[in-house]
Amino acid sequence: MIQGQAAQYRGRAADAERSLKYFAPALNSTSRLTRELVVDDEIFDRFITDTSQAVGAIAKRRNDLSGLVDSTGTALGAIGDENVALSRALDLLPGTLRKSNTTFVNLRAALDDLDVLVAESKPATRDLAPFLAELRPLVADARPTIRDLRTLIRAPGSDNDLIELTGKLPRLQRLTSTVFPRANRTFDRSQEFVDTLRQYTPDLAGWLTKFGQVGSAYDANGHYARIQPVFGLFDYNEDTGELSRKPDAQRIDGYGAGKQERCPGGAVQPPPDGSAPFPVAECDPNQTPEG
């Protein structure tokens, strides 16, 4: 034993000297540990028995333990390779824990309020399962719509989906930022003319309908128009019963050219509801066609 100790401490005298410094405190701690172990023999015996059973169970799974040790070694090696990142994470961990502590404290009060919400939601959720069962066919039928919508949003190719259209909106905005204000000013300036022309909508619609009826009749040769020439050559004198020749400038009086004060809508016969003619300044609502 002495020769073995000599071989053990050969060249390690300085280390042995430093270890002897802690030998007495180690013995003292071991003495206290031994006294605590023998205080309750029954518990110590159970500890030894349980430890023996645990070691026996581990021995039966030595192959799994070997794989666990290998995997643990691989994991620790990977952690060692990332020691800089791990050190950084450990530096940030105290601040994270302090902030999470405040969050968890606030979460405790939120959970109390959530209990009330859950209790109030239970009656409504009883009918949720039947509702979801009825909703399932709708979801199934909506698949083609969703698929088409997905194609509308994004499709292969260029200039054919909403994403690309949205990407071009800034350019459109730059182009329209000059054109639209000018168009607005044009509309503002033409508003008076539009308001005036809008009043003559019945006249325009009447002209289109009556003009189409001129050639509405047709025979084997196609459409034809019925024309009735009117010549205002004479005036009839009711007192004498005679006709007198009209001057050339007055021959079309009474057929429209002489009525220069018609109101909007006065180019057609007045409708039964009285919506036309529309009286405005400097017009005569009585100047309407006969019939």
pLDDT digits (tens, 9 = 90+) for 208-265: 777 777 777 888 888 888 776 666 678 788 888 888 888 877 766 655 545 568 888 8
Tell which of 135, 167, 194 closes a domain: 194
The per-residue DSSP string of 60-107 comes to HTHHHHHHHHHHHHHHHHHHHHTHHHHHHHHHHHHHHHHHHHHHHHHH
Question: Quick check: is 276 in a domain?
Answer: no
Is residue 208 domain-resident?
A: no
Verify that 12 and 85 share a domain, yes or no: yes
Q: Is residue 190 part of a domain?
A: yes
Is 176 among the domain residues?
Answer: yes
Per the domain annotation, does 251 fall within a domain?
no
The answer to the question of residue 231 being in a domain is no
Q: What does 115-167 look like in DSSP terms, one character per residue?
A: HHHHHHHHHHHTTHHHHHHHHHHHHHHHHHHHHHHHHHHS-SSSS-SHHHHHH
Number of structural domains found in the chain = 3
- 258-268 pLDDT, tens digit per residue, is 556 888 888 77
Domain end (from 93, 123, 144): 93
Check whether residue 138 and residue 71 sit in a common domain. no
Q: What is the DSSP letter of 249?
A: G
| Same domain as 163, residue 103 | no
Burial class of residue 266 (count of CB atoms within 10 Å of its CB; 0-12, 13-18, 19+): buried
Residue 210 belongs to a domain: no
Q: Is the domain of 89 the same as that of 103?
A: no
| Host domain of residue 142 | 97-152
- Do 147 and 84 share a domain, yes or no? no
Q: Specify if 242 maps to a domain.
A: no
Q: What is the pLDDT of residues 147-184, one digit of tens each?
A: 888 888 888 888 888 888 888 888 888 888 888 888 88
Its pTM stands at 0.28
